[in-house]
Amino acid sequence: MASQLAFKSRIESTQSLAKIFNAQEMIASSHITKARNVALAAKPYSDAIDDAMMSLAAHTKLSHPIFEKKEKEENPRVAVMAITADRGMAGAYTSSVIRETEGLLAHLDEIGKIPKLYVSGRRGISYFKYRNRDIEGTWEGDSDHPGVEIAEQVSKALLDAYMRPASKGGVSELYIVFTEFVNMVVQKVRIVRMLPVELVDHDDHDVDEAVSGPPVSDVTPPLYTFEPSAEEVLDAILPRYVQSRIHECLLTSAASETASRQNAMHTATDNANDLIDELTRKLNASRQASITQELTEIIGSADALNKEE
């Protein structure tokens, strides 16, 4: 059995960790309400512009990049954006996004695509750089409180890559991997194809949830009239559509990160307290064994002295 000094040292170190975990949990719990409200408040606007795009895709036969990329068949390059965390202590939040991203990249490689990776969050950047994966663009420092500025930077970089001709290294599709905030307990990693926008039966696509939008049978799109022209309207909508969708993904990912951190730190605090209780029992058992041994030695010595007399 380990010495009492070793047990005391482990108890003290575990108590220090428990305090850190508890502090992280309290910080996360103070931030989660705001992050959740912001994410939920942004969702209706993102859903509205997404529904508008679905309706336009159903009614419009125009050849526009928002619906189709002319050189899509000839251009195998595809942009993949992964949203991860800047900090750790969030349980499986980042690892889940990385796992889904790796699966998507492997799937794109299998079907002959050339993925171009974009990453948000220090944890994801470190992971892919350590594995010598080429990264086209990185953003960090705003994973838990993303503002409009970071969404604008990300959307501009991705949209520039999408609108660039294939001869100049442009991409034909845009995927985004993020964590959707469902509630405080459930956060779901999703893969969404943001561009080009099209209506596709969900049973037919290869990547799970890789194409955003409702199934064809569920769509009842309204009619639209364009002024001054459909092309000019779509040119104006495209940047706003991409920025709105990316900002909503960043916000729901931030809420998911905070919720994951709170849950992880709560579990870690409970585990640390359980370990402290177990170590305390072992310390008491070791102390009792030491006392028993000392009493046995004293009694044995007294018996030996009596026999000598």
Provide the CA 4 distance to its chain's centre, in angstroms: 43
| Residue 280: both structure tokens together | 């305390």
β-strand partners of 179: 189
Q: In terms of Cα–Cα distance, which of 206, 204, 297, 275 is closest to 10?
A: 275
Of all residues in the chain, the percent with pLDDT exceeding 70 is: 85
**Per-residue model confidence (pLDDT) at position 72:** 56
Residue 101 dihedral angles phi and psi, to the nearest 5°: -65, -45
**Per-residue model confidence (pLDDT) at position 31:** 83
Q: Report the C-alpha gap between 195 and 211 in whole angstroms.
A: 9
Other Cβ atoms less than 10 A from the Cβ of 194: the count is: 24
Look up residue 37 and give its amino acid.
N
DSSP 281-305: HHHHHHHHHHHHHHHHHHHHHHHHH
DSSP 49-65: HHHHHHHHHHH-----T
Q: Collect the ranges in the chain with pLDDT lower than 70.
A: 1-2, 57-62, 69-73, 198-224, 308-309
Q: 23-263 domain in CATH 3.40.1380.10?
A: yes
Other Cβ atoms less than 10 A from the Cβ of 100: the count is: 20
**Per-residue model confidence (pLDDT) at position 206:** 43
**Per-residue model confidence (pLDDT) at position 2:** 61
**Per-residue model confidence (pLDDT) at position 27:** 85
Q: In terms of Cα–Cα distance, which of 248, 244, 257 is closest to 124?
A: 257
**Per-residue model confidence (pLDDT) at position 215:** 42
Residue 110 dihedral angles phi and psi, to the nearest 5°: -65, -35
Q: In terms of Cα–Cα distance, which of 189, 202, 186, 210 is closest to 113?
A: 210
Q: What DSSP state is assigned to residue 168?
A: G
Buried b (16+ CB within 10 A) or exposed e, 213-239: beeeeeeeeeeeeeeeebeebbeebbe
Q: In terms of Cα–Cα distance, which of 210, 24, 202, 26 is closest to 107?
A: 210
> Nearest-5° angle of CA 283, CA 289, CA 293?
145
Q: Is 81 helix (H, G, I), strand (E, B) or coil?
A: strand
Q: What is the 3 state secondary structure string of 189-242? A: EEEEEEECCCCCCCCCCCCCCCECCCCHHHCCCCCCCCCCCHHHHHHHHHHHHH
Q: CB–CB of 123/94 below 8 Å? A: yes
Q: Report the C-alpha gap between 99 and 116 in whole angstroms.
A: 17
**Per-residue model confidence (pLDDT) at position 195:** 84
Which pTM was predicted?
0.78
**Per-residue model confidence (pLDDT) at position 57:** 67
Q: What is the 3 state secondary structure string of 126-154? A: HHHHHCCCCEEEEECCCCCCCCHHHHHHH
Other Cβ atoms less than 10 A from the Cβ of 295: the count is: 10
